[in-house]
Structure 1
């Protein structure tokens, strides 16, 4: 058995990750790769959106969280965005959408009322505002705030969206944002969907919830799709559940969709 094989047996990847966590001054790319952020799903999405933007010559993007609840995820998103901006030179504006009053009543079975009910995940708005430094809270019913977001805020191109609205009906409403002009999006938007796995009693499927909303969106749009990032788990040193919940929103008609962004500018495989 080779030395490298012995080392792999002696030091599992989870152990290696904890060693790396203790080392000072680790580069951002390594911290993202080894899931050293409190929200590694957010770090992966915002980081790769920033790299895409930089390759396209875009200096500022937006990151959005739909479904803020108590606000822990949004606080994490803000900190991640600031750190990634400092490292990449791409500024990241952050926005959080929520009713501020907890979940509305479920509409029908597609909202999975056996999991969620009206009033779940309420927010202490003032406490959250005190924790946020530069994030914009967009409070109100999604049916009102989503259609007015682009004209009211004129955001930088959106590069990352966390969909955590739980209900099918609420997720469908948030997808209305994707109908806006290409100018307000990167050609490929990294998307995290929070409600696809869950506990053993949740039983998510393609016939309800976020998965159904995605299927219907894809069926209704020829030039835009929401597609799982295939093989992501195989590219991560340490696998995690969130690897199965990262998607990309492809905007095929975006004027920059076909612009080359890969770091290899003269990719060759010469005979050896």
Structure 2
């Protein structure tokens, strides 16, 4: 058995400015006196929870005290994390070749963490994620030789640490060229829907709703509009996507219980 097991992770939370969510104040005892714990996130976004939480992202171990720490692969660590009730841990947002992953649309990606900590019924508009941490799936695999970086950070422009220091010269996003080429090759990529919707029943319903979004339905929506909105360029891709979503939702709700009332805006994912 291992001599040492290390679970790497981080604290997050402490701020959630929703009118229906009360503020929270957590304390700890220091020399018998209560001390307040500061919020981790204090900016306008992203916000996760009024309380502090721990989020695990990998596991290391040592067989002997003097051995170097060995990192488990992402899948091996996940197989352990998922057996621990109540543990928050990193879940894959997107998987695939590097071209696909680097084409992920970080600019319109809202954080998926609030529903995991009880904030699912209190969404915040524009609660953008900072970006993605990309790891090679074989990172930590015994016998696998690394031929390049195994961890890459892809940040939303709003969070990029870029300056125009006169002494250093302008610093640019080194991933921009890579991402531009990937997007040109594969198109913008989106998060796996199972990472956005955690509830099993809601996920099943969402997947069934997506079955109503078809090429034939799009053609019917376009035919109803006629050519004028497109020749005059008054119809944007986002407008068309919204009309398609509304049409699909209308038929989807015909299959639902008559007592169900939906009061929500439609969010489209391009």
TM over 0.5: no
TM-score range, shorter chain: under 0.3
Computing the radius of gyration over CA atoms, which structure comes out larger, 1 or 2?
2
The TM-score with structure 1 as length reference comes to 0.22
The TM-score with structure 2 as length reference comes to 0.22
